[in-house]
């Protein structure tokens, strides 16, 4: 009878066992004598190789790139749990071929990221960064404060690309602001939009009607540069763009041009096409843009929630169950996955 082996990203748990993200509670794993917890090799955002995953039954990932190079025929790996909901660093098809389930943490990020969107919208509409700067100028700044009024939200149009887990939560939080709410999402159940008082519209209408456009979709071939030069040109001169999804969903060069030319009022960006952004990126010099280093949603509650979801997924696999948050659902029909799951149950015996 052997132990259940879990590998934790070095970006979460360092090699010496200390937590790089202290809000993550690993105690359910660490305090279970049936489980052996180790830190994965510190590859940062590089490739996680097969030698790094050898011997593990489950791994919790941060930024590591997962693909064919991560797997070998004689491995035990059943689960790769991502710390978050993005999986653009994970080759889902390769994982499925090798019988590895990929779990996300949707419940951990839903409210924190939606709050981030709302934070951007409020800060942009109230012009908080500019008014902070005026305040620090004392008399000169105070003298011109009425020249920099913000805009009210009542009756304005909040538009979203994507009405999934996070997009729906954005609209739930926006309800008290009495805004008009529209969204484009060809994959969503229209009943959800109705329940949220959100009107589903064509993609072009989202751009044409938005006062605040929030991007909440996954990054894939279909959504890459879905916010582009042509669609930005459809927007109102006083409109704002908010992106908390993935940088390449927005054509950054086109967005910069629209901002420089005054075609948009401003933007709130937590993600970028190149991360970290370069020091000479024009966005860093724009007073009407609020920037965050892909971390605005990082709070104690967010970190704890994501960690709890990943830990729960690891424990579910140990019990022979299928975690609720598996993104490659077809893996559960995989012969490789099921054989490995049966082998794990036999190896753990009554300990599982």
275 labelled catalytic: yes
Quick one: pLDDT band at residue 352, thresholds 50, 70, 90? very low
4-104+299-351 with 108-291: one CATH topology?
yes
Q: Is the model's pLDDT at 219 over the cut of 70?
A: yes
324 is catalytic: no
Q: What is the pLDDT confidence band of residue 155, given thresholds at 50, 70 and 90?
A: very high
Structure tokens at 300: 């104690």
Is 304 in contact with 310 (CB distance < 8 Å)?
Answer: no
pLDDT by residue (tens digit) across 12-66?
A: 999 999 999 999 999 999 999 999 999 999 999 999 999 999 999 999 999 999 9
Q: Cα separation of 284 and 278, whole Å?
A: 9
At residue 309, the pLDDT reads 96
Residue 86 — very low, low, confident or very high, per pLDDT cuts 50/70/90? Answer: confident
Mean pLDDT value across the chain: 96
Mean pLDDT, residues 196-214: 98
Superfamily of domain 4-104+299-351: NAD(P)-binding Rossmann-like Domain (3.40.50.720)
51, 230, 275, 321: the catalytic one is 275
Q: For 130-153, what is the mean pLDDT?
A: 95
pLDDT value of position 351: 47
Q: Which one is catalytic: 69, 180, 294, 304?
A: 294
**Which residues have CB under 8 Å from 79's CB, separation 6+?**
57, 58, 59, 100, 101, 102, 103, 313, 314, 317, 323
Which pLDDT does position 209 carry in this prediction? Answer: 98
Cα dihedral sign, 102-77-83-269: negative
**CA 204, CA 270: separation in Å to the nearest integer?**
24
The reported pTM is 0.90
Record the tokens describing residue 10, joined without a space.
Answer: 């070095």
Three-state DSSP at 87 gives coil
| CA separation for the pair 241, 235 (Å, rounded) | 10
Catalytic, 246? Answer: yes
Q: What is the pLDDT of residues 254-300, one digit of tens each?
A: 999 999 999 999 999 999 999 999 999 999 999 999 999 999 999 99
pLDDT of residue 350: 54
Q: 311 falls in which pLDDT band (50, 70, 90)?
A: very high
Active-site residue identified among 127, 156, 231, 246: 246
pLDDT higher than 80, residue 343:
yes
Question: Has residue 249 got a pLDDT over 90?
Answer: yes
Position 193 pLDDT exceeds 60: yes
- Strand arrangement, sheet containing 101-103: 35-39, 4-8, 58-61, 79-82, 101-103
The CATH architecture to which 108-291 belongs is: 3-Layer(aba) Sandwich (3.40)
Flag whether pLDDT at 228 surpasses 50.
Answer: yes
Domain ranges of the chain: 4-104+299-351, 108-291
The pLDDT score that the predictor gives to residue 21 is 95
């Amino acid at each position: 009878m052997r132990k259940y082996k879990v590998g934790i990203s070095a970006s979460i748990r360092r090699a010496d066992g200390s937590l790089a993200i202290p809000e993550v509670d690993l105690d359910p794993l660490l305090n279970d004598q049936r489980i052996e917890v180790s830190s994965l090799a510190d590859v940062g955002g590089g490739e996680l190789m097969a030698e790094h995953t050898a011997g593990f039954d489950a791994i919790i990932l941060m930024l590591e790139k997962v693909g064919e190079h991560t797997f070998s025929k004689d491995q035990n790996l059943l689960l790769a749990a991502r710390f978050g909901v993005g999986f653009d660093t994970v080759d889902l098809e390769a994982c499925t071929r090798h019988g590895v389930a990929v779990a996300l943490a949707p419940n951990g990020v839903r409210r924190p990221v939606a709050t981030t969107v709302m934070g951007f919208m409020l800060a942009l509409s109230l012009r908080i960064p500019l008014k902070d700067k005026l305040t620090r100028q004392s008399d000169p700044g105070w003298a011109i404060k009425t020249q920099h009024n913000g805009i009210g939200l009542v009756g304005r149009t909040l538009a979203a690309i994507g009405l999934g887990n996070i997009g729906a939560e954005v609209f739930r939080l926006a309800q008290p602001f009495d805004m008009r709410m529209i969204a484009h999402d060809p994959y969503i159940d229209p009943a959800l939009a109705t329940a949220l008082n959100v009107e589903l519209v064509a993609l072009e209408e989202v751009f044409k009607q938005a006062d605040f456009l929030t991007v909440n979709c996954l990054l894939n071939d279909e959504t890459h540069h879905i916010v582009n030069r042509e669609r930005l040109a459809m927007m109102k001169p006083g409109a704002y763009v908010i992106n908390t999804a993935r940088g390449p969903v927005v054509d950054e060069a086109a967005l910069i041009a629209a901002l420089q030319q005054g075609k948009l009022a401003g933007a709130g960006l937590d993600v970028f096409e190149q991360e970290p952004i370069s020091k000479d990126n024009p966005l860093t010099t724009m007073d009407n843009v609020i920037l965050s280093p892909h971390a605005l949603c990082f709070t104690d509650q967010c970190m704890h929630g994501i960690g709890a979801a990943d830990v729960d997924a690891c424990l579910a696999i140990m019990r022979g169950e299928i975690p609720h948050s598996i993104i490659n659902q077809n893996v559960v029909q995989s012969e490789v996955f099921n054989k490995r799951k049966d082998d794990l149950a036999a190896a753990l015996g009554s300990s599982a």
